[in-house]
Structure 1
């Protein structure tokens, strides 16, 4: 199957026009008309993921994070990015990324994470000016209010989290939950305006936990942890539309952040 036949399916769900200006989603290594036999889905392109691709005969690796964000001036294996890109080219492995376009697509990343937590009645937290159905983050409701600690524990169990960083538990119970996968500190004000009892995201800084009026609780679950659902999401998009193409979920997508607990 040609690469463009596969990427067309992804881009119907998450058009590249949805990506942010700083992003580099799309086909990074390879040509649209190249023939590929099998795809491997991962969060990042790493040496371990490429090892797996070679072992499993996957000549296309589809990730959430683009391995290249900035122009490369040389390919001499001086760092992990150069090494992996050079290796992919040499071994004939195409690399494709579905990043902020997947974040902002209707039914995309935040929608998937919310569903995993049992949050319904979803709407976009920060809609785009062009289309209110497109944008970053979601806000929705639990079927019934839960004690805040109980919700945090449930979230920890369902997502397999080692740790959850959070602000003071100023709400004894929560029902309206806002969330944004990845680094979502920039949506704090939108979460506040939504009337959320709790905002779930990642990559919060020290001062982000110091809410001036104690209006709601914020919880940082980790960047990788919030975006691991990309693998399952892309798998479903491809499996429902390409019944005869082999797609494998990587078993070697790993969190670069380690916790000493």
Structure 2
């Protein structure tokens, strides 16, 4: 099993262009041609995790949080980040992180939380913009159906739960072939008019290469006229946070007990009662205070996340219950998700779920 096959699968599941600008997801150390003997999955990469990988004969560590987050100028072993990198390289262990890109997909970090809470009709809280493009091209009427099929097969035309979406209008195209050309229709030196179809379809930006290849290989013309536009439209299946409905509404205390049990947490920091029962719930694994306004605007009765600061709790303003369950706690089941995905996709690959609890925060209860 080569590393490239594993990274390609993970980046299909959670494309790297979905990560936030500040993030550093992807392959951090290692050669994509490297043969992988085993993979160890964890939330964080620490020295203990590297030691565990060595003991289990794993030369790939996949984590949610990237060990290299800020720029490294030296590798002298002066801190735990540098020591982890040095130890991994010395032992020929590849390090891979799948962070905010996994936060952004519906079947990622937040999807796990929604599933554990049994939320119904869950959807993205803040859809992401800048991940769609539109292709416009012009094709002879007789070849339009074949070209559309090729574009759809390459990934174009998917809009939410609909596929093979396009808009088609017929018109007259004109061109005059110069000397040295081999026009599919018409003659050199004479203006030609052709009944053509204008085909418009959208695609994800990570699929641009595949879509263009399908266009070039299936369009009959020697010179193909086409336009590609970036779209500001938001993609509802990709973005920050999620929101859904509990099967049954609960009083706040019952809800907090339920949350504590389902998410396996010992402590919940929360705001005061809001005078109504909890039914609609917003979630964001990790640090989610930046989504508080969006959770309120969505009409959520509760917002489950982590890392709220003291004064930020006031911002709830009685409009919803903030339930801060802790950063590690909100993301702890991400490792199970990744392990399950790898075992299902690559049954021949030995994949281990870490036995270490990497949470740096301890509670005295």
SS of match in other structure, 1:132: strand
**Among 336, 342, 349, the residue aligned to 1:232:** 336
**Among 207, 214, 218, the residue aligned to 2:322:** 218
Structure 2: distance between partners of 1:212 and 1:7: 40
The answer to whether the 8 A contact 1:139-1:179 is kept is yes
Partner in structure 1 of residue 255 of structure 2 = 151
Partner in structure 1 of residue 243 of structure 2 = 139
SS of match in other structure, 2:236: coil
The question of 1:167 aligning with 2:167 is answered no
SS of match in other structure, 1:210: helix
The answer to whether the 8 A contact 1:181-1:202 is kept is yes
Structure 2: distance between partners of 1:62 and 1:86: 17
- After superposition, give the CA deviation of every residue in 1:114-140 in whole Å (9 maximum; x if it has no partner): 111121210100110241210011000
Greater shift in the superposed pair: 214-223 or 230-239: 230-239
The question of 1:245 aligning with 2:355 is answered no
The question of 1:193 aligning with 2:297 is answered yes
Structure 1: distance between partners of 2:8 and 2:105: 15
The answer to whether the 8 A contact 1:42-1:231 is kept is yes
The answer to whether the 8 A contact 2:287-2:327 is kept is yes
Greater shift in the superposed pair: 209-218 or 101-110: 209-218
The answer to whether the 8 A contact 1:148-1:171 is kept is no
Structure 2: distance between partners of 1:233 and 1:140: 20
Residue 144 of structure 1 and its aligned partner are, at CA, apart by: 1.3
- After superposition, give the CA deviation of every residue in 1:171-226 in whole Å (9 maximum; x if it has no partner): 44201000100000000010001100000100001112113641111110000111
TM-score normalised per structure 1: 0.97
Structure 1: distance between partners of 2:64 and 2:306: 16
Partner in structure 2 of residue 40 of structure 1 = 40
SS of match in other structure, 1:133: strand
Structure 1: distance between partners of 2:277 and 2:361: 30
- Runs of 4 or more consecutive aligned structure 1 residues displaced over 4 Å after TM superposition: none
- After superposition, give the CA deviation of every residue in 1:83-118 in whole Å (9 maximum; x if it has no partner): 000000001111000000000012111111111112
SS of match in other structure, 1:17: helix
Structure 1: distance between partners of 2:244 and 2:361: 29
User: Residues 248 and 171 of structure 1: is their aligned pair in 2 closer, same or farther, counting only changes over 3 Å?
Assistant: farther
Structure 2: distance between partners of 1:40 and 1:212: 39
Structure 2: distance between partners of 1:159 and 1:78: 36
Once superposed, what is the RMSD of the aligned Cα atoms? 1.1
Greater shift in the superposed pair: 16-25 or 69-78: 69-78
Partner in structure 2 of residue 65 of structure 1 = 65
Structure 1: distance between partners of 2:90 and 2:41: 20
The answer to whether the 8 A contact 2:106-2:123 is kept is no
Partner in structure 2 of residue 176 of structure 1 = 280
Structure 1: distance between partners of 2:284 and 2:324: 10
TM-score normalised per structure 2: 0.70
Partner in structure 2 of residue 18 of structure 1 = 18
